[in-house]
Amino acid sequence: MLSIDLQGKHALVAGVADDVGFGFAIAKALASAGAIVSVATWPPALGIFKTMLERGKFDESLALPDGSKMTFAKIYPLDAEFDSLEDAPPELRDNRRYRDAGDFSIAGLAAAVGADFGGQLDIVVHSLANGSEVKKPLMETSRKGYLSALSASAYSMVSMVRHMSPVMRRGGSFVSLSYMASQRVVPGYGGGMSSAKAALESDTRVLAYEAGRGWGHRVNVISAGPYASRAASAIGFIQQMVDYAKRNSPLPEALTAEEVGATAAFLSSPLASGITGTTVYVDKGYHAMGVAVDQPTLG
């Protein structure tokens, strides 16, 4: 029987702070396939996340298909807007939510993972995005807000591939998460986030070449359909997008986080050894549609 087998693989999922988003679903899928999983969490959310884990609030979500419970080998602090700790302003480093986190930069994460796993890392998942002005139309977005969205949501992937590649075993896998707004207009998804997702997909192709030639690593991105995670709720109209996509997709049903997780596990496995530099759509086929079919003239 052909199956996804990640036994003996070590995975790092960056961007997990609760049990309902794509990051958690990907971590669970990797663990279900046998991988040892660590996560990286934004420092302001780190304490709450650890407390919820310790108190058993996520126990139901942590249950794996074989009846065991997913555990995280390590939980690291990460603010992916900073390549090195020196890049973070002093006032942020002294902030009570950051000062005890240690080196929360991407370089700090790579150093910690390298020390903990001794170059035995195989899979890195970039489940990171932030747009401080996401509710603003593009023409009302400030330069600072636009560049911040690109920094947190796109350049962070470039930095992670650069810093993490040397601490991974040859032939590793990188996977990130995009959204169809990279290719088509989604009114209301503003603040430079559509530009950031377009950059992320373009960078995936270049990174696939550079990381492939340098370390034999593969780099792919999943373009997921709308999903009502806590992070996506910041957009303000995510449920309307979910309902619209469900009505107008070839498969007229809501996307699940588990479907994205399963795709990430496949892309991270030997079964996908020939796939790199690719944007994989996991959206019930919505991206293929040219017109809405919930209108009376086409119904």
The CATH number assigned to the domain holding 189 equals 3.40.50.720
> What tens digit of pLDDT does each residue of 152-208 get?
999 999 999 999 999 999 999 999 999 999 999 999 899 999 999 999 999 999 999
Active site amino acids: 179, 189
Q: Give domain status of residue 67, yes or no.
A: yes
Instruction: Identify which has the larger pLDDT, 232 or 274.
Output: 274
State the pLDDT at residue 108.
98
State the pLDDT at residue 297.
64
Q: Give domain status of residue 288, yes or no.
A: no
Q: Give domain status of residue 59, yes or no.
A: yes
Structure tokens at 96: 């009570």
Length of the chain: 299
Q: Give domain status of residue 297, yes or no.
A: no
Tell me the pLDDT band of 217, cut-offs 50, 70 and 90.
Answer: very high
pLDDT at 81 over 90: yes
The average pLDDT across 2-14 equals 96
Task: Give me the residues paired with residue 178 across strands.
Answer: 223
Q: Give domain status of residue 157, yes or no.
A: yes
State the pLDDT at residue 251.
96
Q: Give domain status of residue 155, yes or no.
A: yes
Provide the pairing of β-strand 10-14 with 121-126.
parallel
Q: Give domain status of residue 5, yes or no.
A: no
The count of domains in the chain is 1
The average pLDDT across 109-114 equals 97
Q: Give domain status of residue 2, yes or no.
A: no
Whole-number mean pLDDT of the chain?
94
Look up the pTM and report it. 0.95
Tell me the pLDDT band of 215, cut-offs 50, 70 and 90.
Answer: very high
Residue 217 falls in which region: left (phi positive, over 0), alpha (psi -120 to 50) or beta:
beta
DSSP annotation of 277 reads S
pLDDT at 45 over 60: yes
Helices (H), the chain: 22-32, 43-54, 59-62, 90-93, 106-117, 143-150, 156-164, 193-215, 238-248, 257-267
Low-confidence winner among 131-135, 280-284, 295-299 (lowest mean pLDDT): 295-299
State the pLDDT at residue 298.
57
Give the domain range for residue 123: 10-283
Q: What is the CA radius of gyration of the chain?
A: 19
State the pLDDT at residue 228.
80
State the pLDDT at residue 119.
87
Tokens 């990381």 sit at which residue? 211
Q: Tell me how far apart the alpha carbons of residues 16 and 51 are, in angstroms, rounded to a whole number.
A: 14
